[in-house]
Amino acid sequence: MFNKITLGLVIIGALNWLTIGLFGFDMVGALFGGQMALLSRIVYTLVGLSGLWCITFYFSHNAVNQTH
């Protein structure tokens, strides 16, 4: 369950970067009161920590078996 939550947060981060890249629009900042708003910074932090956690997917037993 924890892995699914972190993966969901990484997807939110990826979609946010997509909107920044294509449209110059920060979706998270717009939804939560600007880039420096506390709630936005919490979301950014959770997305970043989730990204770090998802690095462990490369080393998990399931990921190794799927590549061979």
Q: What is the DSSP string of 1-68?
A: -HHHHHHHHHHHHHHHHHHHHHHS--HHHHHHTSTTSHHHHHHHHHHHHHHHHHGGGGGSHHHHHHH-
The predicted model scores a pTM of 0.81
50 burial level (CB within 10 Å; 0-12, 13-18, 19+): buried
**Which residue type sits at 55?**
I
Q: Pick the more confident residue, 12 or 58.
A: 12
Render pLDDT for 25-59 as a digit per residue (tens, 0 to 9).
999 999 999 999 999 999 999 999 999 999 999 88
Render pLDDT for 13-28 as a digit per residue (tens, 0 to 9).
999 999 999 999 999 9
pLDDT band at residue 60 under the 50/70/90 scheme: confident
The C-alpha R_g of the chain, in whole angstroms, comes to 14
